[in-house]
Amino acid sequence: MTAINSVMDFSKDGDVGVLTLNSPPVNALSANVRDGLYEGFKAAIADPAVKAIVLICEGRTFIAGADISEFGGASKGASLFDVQNMMEESPKPVVAAIHGTALGGGLEVALCAHYRVAVPSARCGLPEVNLGLLPGAGGTQRLPRITGVEKALEMVTSGSHVPAKECLAMGLVDEIVPEGELKAGAIAFARKVVADRKPLVKVRDNDTKLQAAKGHPEIFANFRKANARKFRGFKAPEANIQCIEAAVNQPFEEGLKTERRLFMDVMMGPQSAAQRYYFFAERLANKIPDVPDTTATIPIKKVGIIGAGTMGGGIAMNFANAGIPVTIVEVKQDALDRGLKVVRGNYERSAKGGRFPMSEVDRRMGLITGSLDMNALADVDLVIEAVFERMDIKKDIFTRLDSICKPGAILATNTSGLNIDEIASVTKRPEAVIGLHFFSPANVMKLLEIVRADHTSKEVINTSMKLAKTIGKIAVLVGVCPGFVGNRMLGQRGREAQKMVLEGAMPWDVDRVLYDFGFPMGPFAMSDLAGLDIGWVKERSKGETIRDVLCEADRRGQKTGAGYYDYDPETRAAKPSPVTEKIIKDFVTKSGKNPRTIGDEEILERCIYPMINEGAKLLDEKKAIRPSDIDVVWVNGYGWPVYRGGPMHYADQVGLDKVLAKMKEFEAKMGDAFKPAPLLEKLAGEGKKFADLR
Ligand code: CAA
């Protein structure tokens, strides 16, 4: 065995040279790795005893792509193109041996080998689109030459990780070798290539699969049309599509140039910067400074849920999906039956949509048990209370849970804003009490705000963070305060949206601006969806707000066919409503205000800047660990467009001095609601960004 450099070894198995790359955690293509590959292939090609070369990786995965943390810095070491040329032009067959994931630049390296073998659990993909990028090392030109245009379009615009079996079917992988026997399998394969005098296949040279798309631009037009909603606002999907078009319409070398040009376009743009930032933000959110990863965890084998409403049922599904048995406790049989019926209905819809076979519905339902007796929770490891937001009810439930549940069981509340310290105070185990704030619909939404109370133990925090991963959630640890991180900031946006309607904007003006910014919908469309009558009491309603008047007119949102908007009875499409417009205008006139025209810029700034300001306060109060955690909350829980990074990243991009100046201007005109947070003043004064707070 010869060490080529600190990450690459060269050894021989008879006449097969084996290059072994070992650069934890994911063998990303850093300068050192590129150097190792370049020098390694050079040495193997030069060695007269070597007849074929296998490239294999140590650790959890094959090369998982370019080293994202190097992007934007000065380029050092061998270029990826040098490495790829060396491999593709090698006079000796090169076999890439794939386990884990061959992603991005990793797959692009493997595509320059003459052959690829993989274990069954391996996956291949070009996920650059999720970083606002495109595969910039020939991936868009080589992939369609193997898979054909349709499959390539699908892969580069979705970034999906394709399982080995599918890769074999489409020719991306030449052979699957048994799990755990990758090295021996790849060496045997290489030997066979030599013995059978198989050709040195260069993917670049074979255009056969592209022929079907030549002269058929409608393939691309149709693909764009079919995905227009999914791609809305994003620049990278279109750039990826144009690269595949180039693969069809241009010779290989020209196609590479187009790919390079488009790669540089997206790479230098703000969207990719935001999406790369976000990639690391999501991973950073798992790191809790005073709760190391090595902190003990409590095994969660059985879960209890109090409440079979929309939230309780949705939460239960997460656990059943992960194979963890759940008991749901309700007070009344009909409420329990209704709740379980909704869960079954959700599963049946998924099965009908092809997500899993019908047999899964019964299997998952079999993991969910209903009960009317809280004593059924005596042996669960975790209880999540999901009843409505009243402190007295929650306190009563926690008092009873404390006496029923076994010692060591975690008692969690799904409250979206009540004081968890107060809830914990009624138990004799405040260290076991934590907030697990799921977002509705709880079986779909990715975000989980994990709320740390004063006495919550580190074990309970670490267990909750790990459990979030098990059930496929993205967790962010936050502190106790009204609304926690997400809803507290949302409150700022909601307040300004309402105020602007009283000043002269129409709900659809506000919604349009936020939709164009990249949110899936604005606050008024959202209210219509949720129901305007949440928290509204008919008997007490005196027409004091526009919402009161709308509800009194039985315009309670989508469910009544009208709310802020009118809804087409057939298509359910929303239309600005002349009725709502009149209600608003009458209301404003009655209150003696003079409506004015509010520009789009003001709408956006008044919705977004107070949120950023509230984010700064949350950081000052240590309710969020770091600015990027706030961004993870907003991207996953509230539809903030990931290509804008999140509110705190967006503020950095706008410039904190500009945000501050605007807040001061608004404060002078409209008062204290816009008072700048001390942290915003401080950072802006020092010419810094939120990102400097790490
Ligand atoms: N560059 C730098 N660091 C990376 C990385 C990359 N491409 N991929 C992962 N990492 C780091 C993560 O930040 C994380 O670091 P910490 O432990 O310090 O937080 C560590 O590796 C492990 O990553 P995960 O926690 O994500 O581990 P996982 O097992 O859940 O997932 C993975 C592994 C599927 C490879 C996932 O990390 C992933 O999807 N990585 C990104 C893959 C990617 O996008 N590749 C394309 C890069 S762009 C490119 O290649 C452009 C080109 O055309 C040349």
Residue 207: helix, strand or coil by DSSP?
coil
What tokens does 208 get? Answer: 């056969």
The torsion angle over the Cα atoms of residues 625, 629, 630 and 631, rounded to 10 degrees, is 160
Residue 127, ligand 1, Cβ within 6 A: yes
Of the candidates 169, 130, 122, the residue with the CA atom closest to the CA atom of residue 147:
169
Rounded to whole angstroms, what are the CA distances from 205 to 7, 81, 105, 281, 341?
31, 17, 20, 40, 57
Answer whether 63 contacts ligand 1 (Cβ < 6 A). Answer: no
94 ligand 1 Cβ < 6 A:
no
Tell the residue nearest (CA) to atom 35 of ligand 1.
Answer: 64
State yes or no: pLDDT of 359 exceeds 90: yes
**CA 26–ligand 1 middle distance (angstroms):** 6
Which residue would you say has higher pLDDT here, 478 or 416? 478
**pLDDT for the residue numbered 282:** 97
* Average pLDDT estimate for 557-581: 94
How close is the Cα of 286 to the center of ligand 1, in Å?
Answer: 15
Give, for ligand 1, the residue of 26, 107, 632 to mutate: max count of ligand atoms closer than 8 Å to Cβ. Answer: 26
Mean pLDDT for the stretch of residues 323-332: 97
Cα 427-429-435 angle, rounded to 5 deg: 80
User: How confident is the model at residue 489, as a pLDDT?
Assistant: 98
Mean pLDDT of 374-386: 97
> So what's the pLDDT on residue 362?
96
pLDDT on residue 541: 86
pLDDT value of residue 71: 82
Opening angle at CA 66, ends 60 and 68, nearest 5: 100
For the chain, counts of helices (H) and of strands (E): 28, 20
Asked if residue 26 has its Cβ within 6 Å of ligand 1, the reply is yes
Please indicate whether residue 368, judged by its CB atom, sits closer than 6 Å to ligand 1.
no
Inter-CA distances, 143 with 19, 149, 594, Å: 24, 9, 61
78-107 residue pLDDT tens: 999 999 999 999 999 999 999 999 999 999
Compute the distance between CA of residue 183 and CA of residue 180 in angstroms, rounded to an integer: 8
Model pLDDT, residue 77: 86
Distance 689 CA to ligand 1 centre (A): 25
Confidence of residue 76 (pLDDT cuts 50, 70, 90): confident
Q: How far is the CA of 105 from the centre of ligand 1 (A)?
A: 11
Residue 385 known to be catalytic: no
Please indicate whether residue 306, judged by its CB atom, sits closer than 6 Å to ligand 1: no
Q: Summarize pLDDT for 506-515 with one digit per residue, the tens.
A: 999 999 999 9
Give 165-186 pLDDT, tens digit per residue: 999 999 999 999 999 999 999 9
Backbone angles phi, psi at 417, to 5 degrees: 175, -5
Measured in angstroms, how far is the CA atom of residue 473 from the centroid of ligand 1?
A: 18
**What does the alpha-carbon distance between residue 370 and residue 230 come to, in Å, rounded to a whole number?**
38
Distance between CA atoms of residues 161 and 121, nearest Å: 11
State whether the beta carbon of 129 lies less than 6 angstroms from ligand 1. Answer: no
175 is known as an active-site residue: no
pLDDT 10s digits, 450-479:
999 999 999 999 999 999 999 999 999 999
Of the candidates 592, 445, 576, 597, the residue with the CA atom closest to the CA atom of residue 511: 576
Percent of the chain having pLDDT more than 70?
A: 100
Burial of 587-624, coded b for 16+ CB within 10 Å and e otherwise, reads bbeeeeeeeeebeeebbebbbbbbbbbbbbbbbeeebb
Ligand 1 pocket, 121 CB below 6 A? no
pLDDT bracket for residue 75 (50, 70, 90) = confident
Cα separation, 55 vs 98, in Å, equals 9
Counting atoms of ligand 1 from 1, which one is nearest the CA of 61?
35
**Gap between the Cα atoms of 21 and 31, Å rounded:** 13
| pLDDT on residue 301 | 98
Distance CA 283, CA 49 (A): 45
Question: Domains in the chain, ordered, with CATH?
Answer: 2-267 (3.90.226.10), 303-480 (3.40.50.720), 505-590 (1.10.1040.10)
Calculate mean pLDDT across residues 139-143. 98
CA distances from 600 to 508, 513, 597 (A): 12, 6, 10
Average pLDDT, the chain: 96
* CA 24 / ligand 1 centre spacing (Å): 11
* pLDDT grade for 70, boundaries at 50, 70 and 90: confident
Q: What per-residue confidence (pLDDT) applies to 388?
A: 86
pLDDT band at 536 (very low <50, low <70, confident <90, very high): confident
Catalytic hit among 39, 88, 128, 282: 128
Per-residue confidence band for 230, with pLDDT thresholds at 50, 70 and 90: very high
Contact of 453 with 481, CB cutoff 8 Å = no
Q: What is the pLDDT of residue 548?
A: 92
ω into 482 cis (within 30 of 0)? no
User: From the CB of 262, is ligand 1 less than 6 Å away?
Assistant: no
pLDDT at 694 over 80: no
Ligand 1 atom closest to 25 (CA): 21
CA distance 474 to 452: 16
pLDDT class of 549 with cuts at 50, 70, 90: very high
Confidence band (pLDDT; 50, 70, 90) for 14? very high
Residue with CA nearest ligand 1 atom 45: 65
Q: Given 3-state DSSP classes, what are the helix, strand and coil percentages for the chain, each rounded to the nearest 5?
A: 50, 15, 35
In sequence order, the 6+-apart residues with CB closer than 8 A to the CB of 405 are: 304, 377, 378, 380, 383, 411
pLDDT in tens, 17-31: 999 999 999 999 999
Residue of 88, 108, 259, 605 marked catalytic: 108
State whether the Cα torsion 177-181-185-188 is positive or negative: negative
Give the distance, in angstroms, between the CA of residue 39 and the centroid of all CA atoms in the same chain. Answer: 37
Q: Which atom of ligand 1 is nearest to the CA of 126?
A: 46
Of the candidates 10, 42, 13, which has an alpha carbon nearest to the alpha carbon of residue 183?
13
Cα angle 355-359-360, degrees, rounded to a multiple of 5: 50
Judge if the beta carbon of residue 511 lies within 6 A of ligand 1.
no
Ligand 1: residue whose CA is nearest its atom 16 = 283
- Statement: residue 73 has pLDDT above 80: no
CB 127 within 8 A of CB 103: yes
